[in-house]
């Protein structure tokens, strides 16, 4: 067993005095509350920092740490939204669009070099919103959010429980943003296709497939990187992964909207 077997007994040092450190036994309450995930995260951070031995350009001083949205001060959240809006206004850098891929690092870098963003690059811990994505500081429509839910439409179908929105984002940042490109299921996915930004917040999906408990147990039950990937994706080729359903990855996506691919599978035209 690889990575997690090695790090977890370390994470538990001082916590578990059960003698045989064979399996990792976080109390269920700590798994559900997020305490276990915090400890695992802290151990991973310590390990990463310990690996910065001075032999590369990356040092403890200049390494950038990504942070969960709600840990950023309001001013930094607004500065982030402003930088994203600025980046959206930049000219297309792809002369011929042939399935561009914007990698996270590139996106982060462009926010800094083209749009002057100096804060931490945020991420969303969606498990924190399993009690109600509508109340999330990311999507509550306030000026320090990433904009509101979409207008309420019936987005349910026989295959998929719809969320509480589904229409165009109604207020807050990105309210009138025009999505220009895609979707990748369109007849010509590279064509100019202006439309509103839609969102369909879905607490049911978040609570069932992307909770803190789900994320933590996905880590704890994955003895190697292959099964970790499978569990994370709910990859049905691995029998052990099947119970995770949409899984932590898909659960995150579908907590803010379902894709047209799912609609198509279910025989619906569009949302
Ligand atoms: C883009 O497409 C045009 C027309 O097909 C072609 O002439 C040009 O060389 C292409 N540019 C690049 C960078 O591939
Ligand atoms: C929403 O749409 C689905 C699929 O067309 C339909 O079965 C369902 O009855 C609709 N629900 C409401 C509340 O209109
Ligand atoms: C968004 O568009 C609507 C409809 O055109 C308009 O009433 C509203 O003022 C716009 N909001 C912002 C923040 O631009
Ligand atoms: C995911 O977590 C929820 C509660 O947060 C739980 O009800 C559900 O059973 C978990 N899913 C799996 C596959 O363990």
242 falls within a domain = yes
Segment 208-230 mean pLDDT: 95
Counted domains in the chain: 2
DSSP at 255:
T
Q: Are 31 and 217 in contact (CB under 8 A)?
A: yes
Q: Are residues 99 and 54 in the same domain?
A: no
Under the banding of pLDDT at 50, 70 and 90, the label for residue 269 is very low
Angle between helices 212-220 and 3-12 (to 10 degrees): 110
Question: Does 123 have pLDDT greater than 60?
Answer: yes
Which of residues 81, 103, 123 is at a domain's end?
123
221 falls within a domain = yes
What is the C-alpha R_g of the chain? 21
Which residues lie below 8 Å from residue 97, measured CB to CB, with a gap of 6+?
A: 181, 190
Residue from 208, 209, 236, 249 whose mutation best tests the ligand 4 pocket (most atoms within 8 A of CB): 208
Q: Which residue segment(s) compose the domain that 92 sits in?
A: 66-123
185 falls within a domain = no
- Give the residue whose CA is nearest to atom 6 of ligand 3: 176
Q: Are residues 42 and 78 in the same domain?
A: no
Each residue's pLDDT tens digit, 6-20: 334 333 333 332 332
Question: Does 268 have pLDDT greater than 80?
Answer: no
pLDDT at 260: 55
- The tokens of 116 are what? 């002057």
State the first-to-last Cα distance of the chain, in angstroms, to the nearest integer: 44
Each residue's pLDDT tens digit, 24-40: 689 999 999 999 999 99
142 falls within a domain = no
pTM: 0.80
Tell me which range, 14-18, 44-48, 99-103, 136-140, is most confidently predicted by mean pLDDT.
136-140
53 falls within a domain = yes
- The tokens of 128 are what? 């924190």
Which ligand is located closest to the Cα atom of residue 161?
2
Which of residues 104, 123, 142 is at a domain's end?
123
Segment 129-158 mean pLDDT: 94
How far does residue 134's CA lie from ligand 2's centre (Å)? 21
265 falls within a domain = no
Which residue is listed with tokens 């939204």? 81
192 falls within a domain = no
DSSP E strands: which ranges in the chain?
Answer: 67-68, 122-123, 150-152, 166-169, 178-181, 192-196
């Amino acid at each position: 067993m690889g990575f997690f077997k090695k790090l977890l007994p370390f994470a538990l040092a001082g916590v578990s005095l059960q003698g045989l450190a064979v399996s990792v036994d976080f109390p269920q309450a700590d798994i559900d509350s997020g305490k276990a995930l915090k400890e695992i995260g802290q151990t991973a951070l310590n390990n990463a920092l310990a690996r910065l031995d001075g032999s590369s350009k990356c040092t403890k001083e200049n390494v950038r740490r990504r942070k969960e949205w709600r840990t950023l001060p309001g001013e930094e959240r607004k500065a982030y939204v402003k930088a994203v809006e600025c980046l959206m206004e930049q000219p297309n850098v792809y002369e011929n669009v042939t399935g561009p891929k914007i990698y996270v690092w590139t996106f982060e870098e462009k926010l800094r070099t083209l749009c002057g963003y100096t804060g931490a690059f945020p991420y969303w811990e969606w498990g924190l919103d399993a009690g109600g994505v509508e109340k999330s500081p990311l999507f509550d429509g306030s000026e320090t959010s990433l904009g509101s839910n979409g207008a309420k439409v019936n987005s349910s179908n026989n295959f998929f429980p719809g969320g509480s929105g589904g229409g165009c984002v109604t207020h807050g940042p990105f309210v009138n943003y025009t999505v220009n490109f895609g979707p990748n299921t369109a007849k010509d996915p590279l064509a100019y296709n202006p439309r509103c930004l839609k969102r369909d917040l879905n607490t049911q999906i978040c609570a069932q497939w992307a909770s803190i408990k789900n994320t933590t147990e996905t880590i704890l039950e994955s003895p190697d990187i292959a099964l970790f990937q499978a569990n994370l994706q709910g990859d049905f080729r691995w029998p052990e992964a099947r119970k995770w359903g949409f899984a932590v990855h898909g659960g995150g996506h579908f907590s803010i909207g379902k894709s047209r691919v799912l609609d198509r599978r279910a025989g619906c035209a569009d949302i």
